[in-house]
Structure 1
Amino acid sequence: MFNVQSYSGTKEKDYELVIKQLKALIEDEPNRIANLSNAAALLTQFLDRVNWVGFYLMDGKELVLGPFQGLPACVRIPLGKGVCGTSATKEATVRVEDVHQFPGHIACDAASQSEIVIPLLVNGELLGVLDIDSPEKNRFDEKDQEMLEKFVKTLVEHL
């Protein structure tokens, strides 16, 4: 059974704990939607100062809204458009300190100020992206990026 533990160590130790919790949630569950849903809920519970956590999944030549936590969101994002579409096209993490300075930013929630998007690559194929928004500028640093990439790597091993 999944057991919520409190986070009180360093940022890296807290991320390691949330990754351990992710493994406990998804290791015996084959359903992709269930695992993405729990991953979004877990990150929402873990991360402070965020207003949206979720997934956009590849559907043909565009990203379509998947499991998420937060306000209703844009349903379809073309590849190459906005932060999510850029991350998907580049198949690389995109960390944006101020979304209003990002050319072509798609504002699904006017409260969002910064964003990090991490691609989900399964056997070299783009499944989608993890998108996390914050109402604060400069919310995500290099350590967040490193550890969220590790979180995603753990997640895709079970998808």
Structure 2
Amino acid sequence: MIFDTLKPQVEAILSNNKNTTDERLLKVCELLDANISYYNWVGFYFKNGDKNELKIGPYVGEPTDHTIIPFGKGICGQVAVSNENFVVPDVAAQDNYIACSISVKAEIVVPIFVNGENIGQIDIDSGTPDPFTEKDERFLEFVCAKVSEIL
């Protein structure tokens, strides 16, 4: 499975102290975007200081207007509140969805925890309807756990 071959690459990218944290996160986004065909936008959002909002971090994909997302708004904002993974097989069926692009059909968001606190998340959009499986969730949990080690 592709995820098994990507795990050591994710670890190698994140352990490279010659790059800044943002450079490493961008390289992870690039790796996932290049190797998983149905990952069409890959990025990170992080808690914006003491504010109840998320601020965009490194990402790969079409530019987005959603650089700040209030807690509770959209899929990312809901994950900031729930502290749980959110898999959306069909974004059109979601009432509380912030559309980034008409081409997005599905989304998965997995939180990043540091010392038990939800400090951010990885957000993946897909132009493919209902592409995400439990294997995507477990892989992205692995990515988030590794990211938490460098934050």
Query: Is the 8 Å Cα contact of residues 32 and 39 (structure 2) preserved in structure 1?
Result: no
- The residue that corresponds to 1:125 in the other structure is 117
Q: What are the equivalent positions in structure 2 for 1:8-157 lying under 5 Å apart?
A: 10=1, 14-29=2-17, 31-59=20-48, 60-73=51-64, 74-157=66-149
Any gaps of 5 or more consecutive residues in structure 1?
A: 1-9
Structure 2 unaligned regions, length at least 5: none
Q: How far apart in 1 are the matches of 2:114 and 2:99? A: 28
- After TM superposition, give the deviation of residue 67 of structure 1 in Å: 0.4
TM-score w.r.t. length of structure 1? 0.87
1:123-143 superposed Cα distances (whole Å, 9 cap, x missing partner): 112221100000111010111
Q: If the length of structure 2 is used for normalisation, what is the TM-score? A: 0.91
- 1:43-85 per-residue CA deviation (whole Å, 9 max, x = no partner) reads 1112112221001111021011110000111111110111111
**Is the deviation greater in 143-152 or in 115-124?**
143-152
The RMSD of aligned alpha carbons is 1.3
Q: How far 1:35 moved relative to its partner?
A: 2.0
Paired residue secondary structure (1:72): coil
Q: Please identify runs of 4+ aligned residues in structure 1 that moved more than 6 A.
A: none
Distance, in Å, in 2 between the alignment partners of 1:50 and 1:34 is 20
Q: Which amino acid aligns with 1:58?
A: K
Contact 2:14–2:146 (CA<8 Å) still a contact in 1?
Answer: no
Partner Cα distance (2:14, 2:132) in 1: 25
Deviation at 1:150, TM superposition (A): 1.4
